[in-house]
Each structure stands twice: as structure tokens, then as C-alpha cells.
A = this chain, B = another copy of it.
Amino acid sequence: MDKNVGVIGLGAMGAGMAASLRRAGLRVHVFDVRQPAVADFARDGGVGCASPAEMAAHCDVIVSVVVDARQTESVLFGENGCAAAMKAGSVFVMCSTVDPKWSAGIEERLLAKGVHYLDAPISGGAARAAKGEITMMTAGRPQAYAAAGGVLDAMAAKVYRLGDRAGAGSKVKVINQLLAGVHIAAAAEAMALGLREGVDAAALYEVITHSAGNSWMFENRMPHVLAADYTPLSAVDIFVKDLGLVLDLARSSKFPLPLSSTAHQMFMQASSAGFGREDDSAVIKIFPGIELPGKAQ
């Protein structure tokens, strides 16, 4: 594929996705507010951009992997944003976790300029991003998929097409985050009860991961607790935000979510206690009266 593709946001996910695109033979242009990250990528064979607007002059596909809706708005419509500079017929691929209605609104605004839009939140973690094996939960018009060409498949092991209007991908992503957030908080609650009851934590992990109580998140996050390593791969504050999106979505149709609201309170309690920037497994620190495993000496 002899194509110019832009990636905005070189965090844990975006950096891996940009690397996967370059490995697929594409010419990859990158932008991040942290200029050293841009320089590093350019040194390895990519093209650094000074702004989203500059990127838009060169690329027919722009993949945005920033933190949230506010940053996406800034990338598109802020100072030196790309929306005004994108060519007619090019496509903006929005990979953040956002309110589905907001995503549908962005589709309208870009269509009015002749620019295509894909609602395309992602899942899978940094390791799978680096291997080009993320999951994408996408929705958009057929013309938007056509404009993206092989770019999605170059980053993803699975590209789900969930509807022909923006929003359907974001809805499924928000529901995935409901489960992910509740499962992390439940894993913490279960491990905390085990510690309270004097159960050996490593044995508990071994049994649960071979039993019906297992979840993707229990298996993935509880090793951080066992190793006392709360380096943030994904932070507590991400789930304060994402479970907030879950609750906002449900509130807009007055729909009750008892477990999501409880888990949201647990993450906010962890954040208020000062653990917001630690790994999301640090939600276990809200439980009093237990001694967590210490760092190996």
C-alpha cells in the first residue's frame, strides 16, 4: 500500500498502532503534543508533523488515538486542528472512548465539509497494539470504510462493523468498559476478601483463573496486585471517566445500572484517596483492614 496515513496521539496504544502501520509498508505521519515522542518515531522512519493541520495536507487517512472527546475536539477544531485542512474524500478515524451521541455529531460536522468519519473505538491493550492485533468496534458510512482502505486491517486482528452511522461502535465500546470496570473492581473486592480471610493470594489467583469466577480483567490485573506493581498501564482515573460515560449514556434514557454505579463510586473513592494516576488495579487500596502483598525484595 503506497499511502500516507496520519496517527495523532503516541500513547501506549497509538505508538503501537503507528508502528504496525509502518510495518505494513505505509508512509506514517505522526503528531503528539509531546514533541520528543514525535521525534523518536520520525528517527525510526516515520514523518513528524508540527500540527494536525500540517498532517492533513499530506494524509488521506488520519487515525486519532487521543484520551477523550475533549482532546479529539481540540485535534479537529482547535488551533491548527486538522478538520479545516483535510481534503474532500479523506477520512478521520476516531479511536477514543466517547459518548456515542457526541461521535454521531462529529460525523455530521465533518460530512458537511466533505470529510468522511469512522466511529472506531479500540480494545486490546498496548501489547496487542504493537503487534497490529487490536480489536476495533467500528461504525460509519460505506464511503468512509472505502476511504480508509486497508488501514484498519493493518492495525487490527478484528474489525467489527456494527452499523452504517457513527455511534454504534462507541455504544459497544462503552458497554465493554462497563464490564471491564465492574470486573476490575470485582477482582479487587474478591482479592481483598481473600486477604482479609488469610487465604494465600497466589493460590487464590491460581484457582480463580481455572474456575468459573474468572474474567479477562481478573487474570490480567491481579498479577499487578500480587507483585505490588501499580505502574499505570491504564489508570484509575481512566475508569472514573469511562464508567462516567457508561452512566451518562444510561441516564440519558433514565436506565438503572446498579453495579456500574457502585463500581464508579469505588474508582472515585480510589481517586479521591490519591491513587487516580496509579494502575486501575489500585482500586483495591480502598479496602481498609487488609495488608496488601509487598514488593519483592
Residues of A within 8 A of B (CB): 100, 123-125, 135, 137, 158, 160, 162, 168, 171-172, 175-180, 182-183, 185-187, 189-190, 192-194, 196-197, 199-200, 203-204, 206-208, 210-218, 220, 246, 249-250, 253, 255-260, 262-263, 265-266, 287, 289
Q: How many copies does the complex hold?
A: 2
Which of A177, A190, A199, A211 neighbours the largest number of chain B CB atoms within 10 Å of its CB? A211
Which of A171, A190, A213, A246 neighbours the largest number of chain B CB atoms within 10 Å of its CB? A213
Q: Kindly list chain B residues whose C-beta atoms are within 8 Å of the C-beta of A197.
A: 100, 171, 175, 249, 253
Q: How far is the CA of A137 from the CA of B211 in the complex (A)?
A: 10
Which of A162, A197, A206, A262 neighbours the largest number of chain B CB atoms within 10 Å of its CB? A197
Q: Kindly list chain B residues whose C-beta atoms are within 8 Å of the C-beta of A124.
A: 211-212
Question: Looking at chain A's contact residues, is the secondary structure mostly helix, strand, loop, or mixed?
Answer: helix
Decide if B208 touches A176 in the complex (CB within 8 Å): yes
Determine which of B158, B175, B187, B256 lies in contact with A179 in the assembled complex, contact meaning CB atoms within 8 Å.
Answer: B187
Q: How far is the CA of A162 from the CA of B204 in the complex (A)?
A: 9
Decide if B217 touches A212 in the complex (CB within 8 Å): yes
Q: Kindly list chain B residues whose C-beta atoms are within 8 Å of the C-beta of A158.
A: 210
Q: How far is the CA of A214 from the CA of B182 in the complex (A)?
A: 11
Decide if B200 touches A162 in the complex (CB within 8 Å): yes
Q: What would 19 A/B residue contacts be, using CB atoms closer than 8 Å? A: A100-B197, A123-B212, A125-B212, A158-B210, A172-B194, A172-B203, A175-B194, A175-B199, A176-B208, A176-B211, A178-B190, A180-B212, A180-B213, A182-B259, A193-B249, A213-B217, A214-B215, A255-B289, A256-B287
Nearest B-chain residue to A134, judged by Cβ: B211
Task: Knowing A179-B214, A183-B215, A186-B182 are in contact, say whether A255-B207 is a contact too (CB < 8 A).
Answer: no
Q: How far is the CA of A256 from the CA of B266 in the complex (A)?
A: 12
Q: Which 7 A-B pairs rank lowest in CB-CB distance, beginning with the nearest?
A: A179-B213, A215-B215, A176-B213, A123-B211, A182-B186, A262-B262, A214-B216
Decide if B186 touches A259 in the complex (CB within 8 Å): yes
Distance in angstroms from A261 CB to nearest chain B CB is 8
Q: How far is the CA of A204 from the CA of B174 in the complex (A)?
A: 11
Decide if B213 touches A175 in the complex (CB within 8 Å): yes
Nearest B-chain residue to A209, judged by Cβ: B216
Distance in angstroms from A49 CB to nearest chain B CB is 31
Distance in angstroms from A245 CB to nearest chain B CB is 12
Task: Knowing A135-B210, A193-B250, A216-B212 are in contact, say whether A172-B199 is a contact too (CB < 8 A).
Answer: yes
Nearest B-chain residue to A178, judged by Cβ: B190
Decide if A257 touches B162 in the complex (CB within 8 Å): no
Task: Knowing A193-B257, A196-B255, A204-B175 are in contact, say whether A211-B135 is a contact too (CB < 8 A).
Answer: yes
Decide if B259 touches A204 in the complex (CB within 8 Å): no
Nearest B-chain residue to A179, judged by Cβ: B213
